[in-house]
Amino acid sequence: MTSPVYLDYNATAPLRPEAQEAMLEALDHVGNASSVHAFGRKARLWVEEARKEVAKATGAEVEEVVFTSGGTEGNVAALHGLPGTSVLVSATSHNSVLKNVTAHAFLPVHPSGLLNLEEAEKQMASAPRPFLVSAEWVNNETGVIHPVAELQALVKKHGGYLHLDAVQALGKIPLTLRPDLLTLAAHKIGGPQGAGALVIREGVPFVPLIKGSHEKGRRGGTENVAGIAGFGAAVRHMTFADAAWRDEMEAQLLRVPGARIVGQEAPRVANTTGLVCPGLKAEILVMQLDMAGFAVSSGAACSSGKVTVSHVLQAMQCPESEQFSALRISFGWKTQKIELDSFVKSWTELALSAIR
């Protein structure tokens, strides 16, 4: 390829031109959305139009949508928004969940990556009351779609509350389920970084993380009008990826001896591939691919010269020989098929060279 290829949409997606246009218009306007004069009313209009878009995309009532600074804030607010509850957390949850709660229990997953509902129900049955179950709708590393309808039925059966982290689900699958709490982020769908939402189902006894008079008392702080406007525009124009592109790419990647797609046997979103191949080192491949013009993520987190194996792969009981080789390839609205074909060619050459 003559120009760099971006295949890390699950980290953040390129800003959609419609979102940029909405943000620039809002940035050019002065006015606090809480002010009653004409300037404030115009700013409020952008916020409320975006709220309608988010509500429509999630099947929620407009009044249930609370704007936040992003997925992390939404998750933390949900986890701490029901004081006195014990919390049960999916073992493959995002770190914004795992690092911000003391869980009563971690709900295990099958080797496929899907939640183990039988074990989850056992944990619910023994959990101190009241309880909250928190799980990701779609896993950010593997793209696995959890059986959330079945999970919700179990939570209701045992009288608990359900929080779903839908940050990686929005714009990839229809959000047809209405949990008690739902987290969203703008930048995964081509909106701006620093904007998100927490959808709080009517009747849930939610206590705000940030107290104040904004967002009907559910989230204090002046609204990020430009970010929210961009979020609304991104939701309005979001499109789903083509699974045929992913499947064709994966079929070619699997020609390399030892290569495997993590979670391939489970339902997955169309834009995400978790690729492992024993004998390869992900941190080296990420750098080599970057030099070749391809941006992808490693399944391992690197910091201070140390490599930490993904907790998702560990929870899925992936062999240790695979755990340090994991790559995540994720694409979206701006991706061209030729870019995926070029990536396959480069990765295959690097992998075969390393294996030899």
Active site residues: 302
Cα separation, 36 vs 210, whole angstroms: 23
Cα separation, 67 vs 214, whole angstroms: 10
* DSSP-assigned states of every residue in 261-320: ETTTTS-B-TTEEEEE-TT--HHHHHHHHHHTTEE-EESSEEETTEEE--HHHHHTT--H
- Contacts of residue 202, defined as CB under 8 A and 6 or more positions apart, other chains included, come to 61, 63, 64
Count Cβ atoms below 10 Å from residue 111 Cβ, excluding itself: 14
Cα separation, 86 vs 102, whole angstroms: 9
State the Cα angle at 49 between 45 and 52, rounded to 5°: 145
Residues 189 and 197 sit within 8 Å (Cβ to Cβ): no
Residue at 324: amino acid letter: F
Phi/psi at 136 (5° precision): -85, 135
Count Cβ atoms below 10 Å from residue 227 Cβ, excluding itself: 26
Which is it for strands 196-200 and 65-68: parallel, antiparallel or unpaired? Answer: antiparallel
Structure tokens at 61: 């009532």
Cα separation, 22 vs 53, whole angstroms: 14
Of the candidates 328, 307, 338, which has an alpha carbon nearest to the alpha carbon of residue 8?
A: 328
Q: Tokens 């999630």 label which residue?
A: 58
Structure tokens at 71: 């997925």
